[in-house]
Amino acid sequence: MTLLPVYDSRGSVSGWYEEDRLYSLQGNVIGWLRTDGVYSIGGNHVGWLERGHFWDSHGCVVAWTPEASGGPAKPGRAGLPGRPGKGGTPGRPGFSGRMGRPGLSSAWSNKNWSTYLR
């Protein structure tokens, strides 16, 4: 599979995703996707992936994919950096229970890609 870009509120690539894994700009696994749930590297539920947006626990958008629809107004996309080599995939953690889903907002989160996935 190919790493796909994740954009921030400024339109810059802030990370990557592929299948069930979320990556840093450097190609290290920093989180997981499980159904529509987003989990930290340690298995804590931190939000949702829906309609191409990564939503935080308050219903605000942290980042978005090229397939995103709806949500907050998006800037133009910056140039795509070279895709990094992927680091080894760590063992999957036990996943925590999911938090209650808030209503989805059209606002940007105050979190960035790396703080979202901690």
CB of 6 within 8 A of CB of 67?
A: no
Q: Cα torsion for 32, 38, 41, 46, to the nearest 10°? A: 180
- Look at residue 106 in the predicted model and tell me its pLDDT: 93
Per-residue pLDDT of the chain (118 residues; tens, 9 = 90+): 789 999 999 999 999 999 999 999 999 999 999 999 999 999 999 999 999 999 999 999 999 999 999 999 999 999 999 999 988 889 889 999 898 889 999 999 999 999 999 8
Neighbours of 110 (CB within 10 A): 11
Query: Which pTM does this prediction carry?
Result: 0.92
Cα maximum dimension of the chain: 37
